[in-house]
Amino acid sequence: MFQGASALNLDAKGRMSVPAKHRDALLVQGEGRITLTKHPDGCLLLFPRPEWETFRSRVAQLPMDAHWWRRIFLGNAAEIDLDGAGRILVSPELRSAAGIEKEVILLGMGTHLEVWDAATYAAKEQAAIAQGMPEALKQFNF
């Protein structure tokens, strides 16, 4: 289960060091094999390979009126491996799609992680807070 936020920086080659808590889980779940793809919210989705295979199967079964969503998720998927130093290479195409230049936020989302440009994430988080709590959460006990 992935959870928590980590502020990270990409190096000059576009590599991101995965924090140890997530790296260990990625090594156990998928032997360091990862799939990275874009999401229309403006972030990247990072899956350990077994979770990706489940997600990919679900997306592939979407009806024809969702063909653009298959293109977004499946057509942009990149299979990558953790290197010996625990880093992943984020391709220029995926960095561009998410507006990522250097500073990133890595968010644990349960079965997968999200990779955000830090400034984009901060702006979207503030906008969500400004809109107020959704109805589904108003009944939630904290």
CATH code, domain carrying 125: 3.40.1550.20
State the pTM of this model.
0.92
Domain for residue 142, yes or no? no
Domain for residue 93, yes or no? yes
- Provide the mean pLDDT of the chain: 94
pLDDT of amino acid 29: 87
Domain count, the chain: 1
Domain that holds residue 86: 2-137
Domain for residue 109, yes or no? yes
The 10s digit of each residue's pLDDT in 2-41 is 999 999 999 999 999 999 999 999 998 888 899 999 999 9
CA atoms within 13 A on the CB side of 125: 11
Helices (H), 5-132: 20-30, 49-60, 67-75, 92-98, 118-131
Domain for residue 47, yes or no? yes
117 in the Ramachandran plot: left (φ > 0), alpha (ψ -120 to 50) or beta?
A: beta
- With cut-offs at 50, 70 and 90, classify the pLDDT of residue 70: very high
pLDDT of amino acid 76: 96
Domain for residue 42, yes or no? yes
The 10s digit of each residue's pLDDT in 89-119 is 999 999 999 999 999 999 999 999 999 999 9
Question: Does the structure show a pLDDT above 90 at 87?
Answer: yes
